[in-house]
Amino acid sequence: MTRLDVVGGAGILTAGNIAALGVPGGPRVGDRLGDLTDRAPQFAPPTLQTLVLARRPEQAAPLRSALLTLDDQDPLLHARPEASGATALLLYGEVQMEVLAATLAEDFGIEAEFAPGRVRFLERPAGVGEAVEEKPWLDRTRYWATIGLRVAPGPRGSGGVFTYETELVALPRAFHQAVEETVYATLLTGLDGAAVTDYRVTLTRSGFSSPVSTAADFRGLTPIVLRRALRRAGTRLYGPYHSFEAEVPADALGPVTAQLAALGADFSGTTGGAPGWLITGEPPARRVREAELRLPGLTRGEAVWSSRPAADRPLKPSH
């Protein structure tokens, strides 16, 4: 039973007071106090991805366990096991990687090696696409299953959603689970090689042949049908952007804006004049480091730069 004990014996907790919260199993990062509102904090998606391996092979399993434990504790860390034995991480920057390496060494006694961080791209469906394989065993294929899937865009920020138009009793539970798990696993890689997000996949048709059909038939056929539906829907590739502010000397405005424009930045404002200018805008995240390195030379070291993750943007037209 959840308990709230307010220091001083007051019946309710008000601003400025202190209380002890007792939760069965203990509170966890991500738990919410109070009603869900539109003002709930939202973090921009991570912009970097990397792979982590243990320096000593015998620490591979403890490393994966430690990373999953830290992932459960930290909403800014996103860890996923890879089939290769490494663990994939989504991060917000190189500093987070350094902090994580120190935490693994100090708290878990594990020395980890991180692959160089690279910018994370995402794909989103550009339209609606459907595909069906109905009783493919009649065509002498190896999968004894019928599957129909529809791929459609989902609301921004919704991630991946799997739904049914078929009756749940039309397939054994194990077959339904095989289709759903395979959909999520397949869409970790889209048409451009990036993970697909903000999609809605619907099972529109299903069937099996008793007693020969197995869950393996549905796991094998689902990626074929899903890929076909995804190609018909098309995808757009998105890349992360940063929002920046740069204070530069008055005589450096031209060279700085020209350089930022060459790096793909979109400008949202230029204010000031004398003794300096404040420039704001959004460059691609993959070019931020280059901008930081070039700015001192363009401003005689007198610039002040700050940036933070912003919403991603489409990088190329749909297929």
Tens digits of residue pLDDT in 77-118? 888 877 677 888 888 777 888 889 999 999 999 999 998 888
pLDDT at site 40 = 46
pLDDT score of 137 more than 60: no
According to CATH, what is the number of the domain 48-120? 3.30.70.870
According to CATH, what is the number of the domain 133-233? 3.30.230.10
CATH fold of 239-314? Alpha-Beta Plaits (3.30.70)
pLDDT band at 319 (very low <50, low <70, confident <90, very high): very low
Which of the residue ranges 11-20, 28-37, 72-81, 128-137 would you say has the lowest mean pLDDT?
28-37
Residue 149: CB atoms within 10 A of its CB come to 25
- As annotated, the residues of the chain forming the CATH 3.30.230.10 domain(s) are 133-233
The pTM is what?
A: 0.72
Q: Identify whether 211 is preceded by a cis peptide bond (ω within 30 of 0).
A: yes
Contact 198, 110 (CB under 8 A): no
- As annotated, the residues of the chain forming the CATH 3.30.70.870 domain(s) are 48-120
pLDDT at site 153 = 97
pLDDT tens-digit series, residues 46-64: 788 888 988 998 998 899 8
